[in-house]
Structure 1
Amino acid sequence: MLKEFRDFIARGNVMDMAVGIIIGAAFTAIVSSVVEDLINPIIGLFTGGIDFSNQFIVLSGRGDYASLETAREAGAAVFAYGSFLMAVVNFLIIAGVVFMLVKAVNRAKEAVSRDPKAPVVEEPAGPTELEVLMEIRDRLKA
């Protein structure tokens, strides 16, 4: 059983998936930092200093909370639309980068699979339709 498990783990697909998950987790931290530390301040410049990650609406009660964190600590039900918008921005950035990476990997695989030194072999062309019809005609005459 231990040998089967070791063989399963040693397969390329499982190892590739594990590496992908680890890199994905690290990449998510980088993208979160880009959004929080770079994109939010730029958006804040255009919106008059509004921090979108701290935008919320209190759904329960009439509490006047200074921040999303204090509203959550007080146990108020909040609609944190700013956090949601930032999650959407994170997703779009990650999806865009993953798309570009997959596209680059596919191009690299294509380039490797094509050998520029290999001669292009043209398949012999079969008889044309006219030649086939003429052959049928000739056989029918005979």
Structure 2
Amino acid sequence: MFEEFKKFILRGNVVDLAVAVIIGAAFNQIVNSMVSDVITPLVGLIGGSHDFSGIKIGPVGIGKFINAVLNFLIVSSVVFFGIIKPMKKLNEIAAKKEAAKQQTEQQPTIPEDVKLLREILEELKKQKV
């Protein structure tokens, strides 16, 4: 039973998942700091206030909901424009480099003796004409 557990733990998928969770947690702090320390104060400068928790419609307090929606929109835009778009561009550049590399690798190099034989063949064809 211990061997089976050891085999499960040492599989690549489990280790990759653990690393992804750890990096995701650390990255969450970066995104939250970007939102709370940079973006939200800018929204507060433009809109006058960045805390809408006091807004009520009658007895229903919708301010916290508005804060949550704005926070979601800010976080998702930071992730999209700060991470997704640049990563997509980097992947496109890497794919172009890889395609160019594969194309050069696929072109066979012709040995010098074969080139010389082809030139001789061309000259013989010219002499027959």
TM-score class normalised by the smaller sequence: 0.5 to 0.7
Say what the alpha-carbon RMSD is for the aligned residues: 3.0
SS at match of 2:106: coil
The two structures have a TM-score, normalised by structure 1, of: 0.55
The two structures have a TM-score, normalised by structure 2, of: 0.60
Q: Deviations over 1:43-77 (max 9, x none)?
A: 22222x311xx21333673xxxxxxxxxxxxxxx6
Residue 38 of structure 1 corresponds to 38
Report which of the two has the higher share of helix: 2
Letter of the 2:105 counterpart: A
Residue 52 of structure 2 corresponds to 55
2 and 115 in structure 1: CA distance in 2 versus 1, 3 angstrom threshold = farther
Gap runs ≥5 in structure 1? 62-76, 122-142
60 and 8 in structure 1: CA distance in 2 versus 1, 3 angstrom threshold = farther
Shift of 1:88: 2.0
Residue 61 of structure 2 corresponds to 78
| 2:68 equivalent to 1:118 | no
* Contact 1:55/1:83 (8 A) holds in 2: no
Q: Deviations over 1:96-128 (max 9, x none)?
A: 41454366457657756855763336xxxxxxx
Structure of greater relative contact order (alpha carbons < 8 Å, 6+ residues apart): 1
User: 1: CA distance between counterparts of 2:67 and 2:37?
Assistant: 15
How many residues align? The count is 103
Gap runs ≥5 in structure 2? 109-129
